[in-house]
Amino acid sequence: MLRVENIKHSFKTGNEWTTVLHNINFTVNKGEMVALLGSSGSGKSTMLNLMAGLMKPTEGHIYIADHDIVQMGENKLAEFRRKHIGFIFQAYELITSLTVRENVELPLVFQSISPSVRKQKALALLEQVGIPDKADLFPSQLSGGQQQRVSIARSLITEPSVIFADEPTGNLDTKTEEEIIAILLKLNQSLKTTFIVVTHELEVAEQMQRTFSLRDGYLINNQQPPADAESAEGGAG
Amino acid sequence: MKIRDISRMAWDQVKRRKVVTGLCMTGISIGCAAIIVALSIGQSAQTYVTDQVNQNFKMDEITVTPGGGIPSRGGGGGGSGESNENLDPGKLTAQKLEIIKSLNHVVAAAPFEDAGYMQMLTVDNKIADVQVKATDLRMLTEFGFKFKQGGVTDLPGMVVLNYGATLGLIDNETRQKLYEQLGADPFNSALMDQYNSMSTLPSEMYRQQVQLQATDYSTSEGNIRLSSALQVGGILSTAEGTDDLRASYEKIMYVSLETAAQLTQQLSFGTNNGMTPNVEENSYKTVTVKVDSTDNIKSVEAIIQKLNLNAMDNLYQQEMLKEQFDMIKMAALGIGVFILIIASISIIVAMTMSTHQRRRQIGIMKVLGANMGQIRNMFITEAALLGLLGGLLGVLFSYLIIMGLNKLVGTAGDSLNFVIPLTTIPVGLAFAIMTGVLSGIYPAISASRTDALTAIKRD
């Protein structure tokens, strides 16, 4: 499903090059829910941005559904993201001028899907994330947990191959955090969607099927996928 | 992305960002109003002046005069005596007049010989200077003249007066006195008012007897001759919209060609000093031809010229005016466009600011799958919408401005009335939308190039 091959990423500060990711290799199978664990500065956010196609690695390849996203141009990547990638942000990132339902529908708007189909799908997903009654409210009228549920529903509406969740519980209290993780686990089970959750919290990572740990740009723990899954390669930096 | 979705999102932004919307709309509305008002003023002034010109120069008429070549006795020079058409092919004869009358598209053709200016005397010794024109009186209605009183007559000694000739008839003594007073004190407004009111004083002239008086200025004695009595058989109406004062400036007496010949005999001093009638029978100095449409003027003229005659129309007046007004319109349009360019700067600034404020939102949309074209289209649609709203406000402004102008002109007592031709509204709106779209291009491109990652990063 997702294959990361020999990823190295550096950036220039002044006259010096700093490498933030060193020869990262891992594979995530279809329907898996994995954690990318690391403390601040470990390179986990950079890794997420590379996997989402928001930036290009200095070296290496990233395959999602057998497409090398590193080779894609901006518009091709946009189209690819639209069809194959879902995003859950730490700060929810909802459009404040749109209602909850309209926010959930937004990715489908970019795919020119008809309003009736969009509405039907959005309402079904809001039901799944437990806020069917909030469809016509605006984000500012919701709590943090509820906003994150909207963000989850939005990430699922295009039925993507993989969903990247960037610190999805980072802005939430413990109780809400548990609720959100429970929702993600439930959706992973029911929809068989692949989830990659970036977190710095061990408690969150422990609830995932596998964890990749990053430290100072090196992959220090690459748990092998379950035996019945696709073959996987590991690689530590 | 569907147009409906793009439009709805653009509309949401326009509603949401009231200050930006207000600023942009104000700029565009001023430019749009400037274009509409300028075009409307140009158009209204053109209509007004064209009407005025049409009143003085009939566009559907051709003035025919004898052709060039060997000097014509009957044409231009006048005089009496034998004439040989073989030697004088340019002569405007009765036979040629008949040919002209039979031409296609010719509604009427008749001689309108200018017999000069003379004094008209009434039985109660009132006097007025009139221009005497010899024509076929039966043809007057064919040329569009309408009778206020009386009607067509061809009895000998019958004359037709235009309405102006019935105004300002005063006795010679009063007239001389007033002239002397005005000569001594030309800037006396009271005297001027008195003169104007006397100039428009109406007299009942229908069925009255009048005489024409010619003075021989070539001699120091200033010999005077009086014609036989003439009877006023009809009074013509004035052109629509002409007031009495203006009508009083043009006093015309129409006489038949036979009457004109009699007057020539009665009033001629033997020398042609231009102040006595000099009309020859069966040969004319000027014939006026009325054509069914201005479109056919040139073709009729071409045929007339083949008769060795000169043909002149008044269309050049219209063409000249059209050229002048086209220039005025272009200048007005230029001013409007200049204002719109200034307005577009405000849109570029406001929308660029808006782009920066919405960088995060653009970033999120890009992460959610919006491509560069979709982001660009969203911003351009928003700019076009601002242009449209500004344009609509501009249309409203232009109506208010035109209303104000009409009140101002109305107070000044002028009959000029400004109207907004419906065709100028789409022109104004098109310019407004175009300004919006053009001004939105840079912010839209800038927005579409926003780096998604940089935009969504939180410090």
DSSP per position, B220-274: SS-EEEEPPPEEEEEEEPPPTT--HHHHHT--EEEEEHHHHHHHHHHH--SS--S
Q: What is the pLDDT of residue A226?
A: 55
Question: Are residues B363 and B425 part of one domain?
Answer: yes
B368-381 per-position pLDDT tens digit: 888 889 999 999 99
For residue B13, list chain A residues with Cβ-Cβ distance below 8 A. 97
Residue A154 lies in a domain: yes
Q: What is the pLDDT of residue B155?
A: 81
Of B361, B374, B453, the CB nearest to A95: B361
* Mutation for A interface: B361, B368, B448, B457, most A CBs within 10 A: B368
Handedness of CA A138, A140, A145, A148 (dihedral sign): positive
Question: Are residues B293 and B277 part of one domain?
Answer: no
Min Cα separation B452/chain A (Å): 7
Question: Are residues B74 and B22 part of one domain?
Answer: no
Q: Give burial (CB, 10 Å; 0-12/13-18/19+) of A88.
A: buried
Q: What is the pLDDT of residue B405?
A: 86
Q: What is the pLDDT of residue B268?
A: 74
| CB distance B50 to B321 below 8 Å | yes
* Contact with chain B for residue A236, Cβ under 8 A: no
**pLDDT tens by residue, chain A, 237 residues:** 899 999 999 988 888 888 999 999 999 999 999 999 998 888 898 999 999 888 899 999 999 988 999 999 888 888 898 889 998 988 888 988 889 999 999 999 988 899 999 999 999 999 989 999 999 999 999 999 999 999 999 999 998 989 999 988 888 888 888 889 999 999 888 888 899 999 998 888 989 999 999 998 998 876 655 554 444 333 332
Chain B residues contacting A, CB < 8 Å? Answer: 1-2, 4-5, 9, 12-13, 16, 360-361, 364-374, 452-453, 456, 458
Q: How far apart, in whole angstroms, are the C-alpha atoms of residue B345 and residue B28?
A: 10
Question: Are residues B198 and B143 part of one domain?
Answer: yes
Q: What is the pLDDT of residue B232?
A: 93
Residue A48 lies in a domain: yes
Min Cα separation B432/chain A (Å): 27
Question: Are residues B431 and B449 part of one domain?
Answer: yes
Whether residue A74 and residue B453 make contact (CB cut-off 8 A), yes or no, is no
Whether residue A81 and residue B458 make contact (CB cut-off 8 A), yes or no, is no
For residue B456, list chain A residues with Cβ-Cβ distance below 8 A. 89, 93
In which domain, by residue range, is A94 found? 30-56+72-222
Question: Are residues B124 and B148 part of one domain?
Answer: yes
Domain end position, chosen among B265, B295, B313? B313
Q: What is the pLDDT of residue B86?
A: 53
Question: Are residues B291 and B175 part of one domain?
Answer: no
Side chain identity at B211, as an amino acid letter?
Answer: Q
Question: Are residues B267 and B158 part of one domain?
Answer: yes
Q: What is the pLDDT of residue B88?
A: 66
* Mutation for B interface: A74, A96, A109, A151, most B CBs within 10 A: A109
CATH number, domain with residue B294: 3.30.70
Residue A81 lies in a domain: yes
Q: What is the pLDDT of residue B87?
A: 54
Residue A230 lies in a domain: no
- State the DSSP H helix or E strand holding residue B367, giving kind and residue range, or none if neither: helix B359-367
Q: Spell out the alpha helix ranges (H) of B72-171.
A: 94-101
Terminal CA-CA length for chain A: 22
Handedness of CA B405, B406, B412, B417 (dihedral sign): positive
- In chain B, the residue whose alpha carbon lies closest to the alpha carbon of A93 is B364
CATH number, domain with residue A101: 3.40.50.300
For residue A87, list chain B residues with Cβ-Cβ distance below 8 A. 367-368
Min Cα separation B376/chain A (Å): 13
Query: What's the complex ipTM?
Result: 0.85
| CB distance A101 to A135 below 8 Å | yes
Question: Are residues B250 and B198 part of one domain?
Answer: yes
The closest of B44, B26, B34, B25 to B334, measured between CA atoms, is B34
Domain end position, chosen among B313, B329, B357? B313
In which domain, by residue range, is B167 found? 113-281
| Token representation of residue A117 | 């189909």
Question: Are residues B217 and B269 part of one domain?
Answer: yes
If one counts the domains in chain A, the total is 1
Residue A194 lies in a domain: yes
Q: What is the pLDDT of residue B408?
A: 83
Residues 6+ positions from A5 with CB-CB distance below 8 Å? A25, A60, A61, A62, A63, A233
Residue A217 lies in a domain: yes
Q: What is the pLDDT of residue B82?
A: 46
Q: What is the pLDDT of residue B270?
A: 58
Report, as ranges of residue numbers, the positions in chain B whose pLDDT lies below 50: 70-83, 273-276
Residue A148 lies in a domain: yes
If one counts the domains in chain B, the total is 3
Whether residue A52 and residue B367 make contact (CB cut-off 8 A), yes or no, is yes
Q: What is the pLDDT of residue A222?
A: 66
The closest of B212, B258, B256, B253 to B236, measured between CA atoms, is B253
3-state helix, strand, coil in chain A (%, to 5): 35, 30, 35
Whether residue B365 and residue A81 make contact (CB cut-off 8 A), yes or no, is no
Number of inter-chain CB pairs under 8 A, A vs B: 66
Q: How far apart, in whole angstroms, are the C-alpha atoms of residue B343 and residue B420?
A: 23
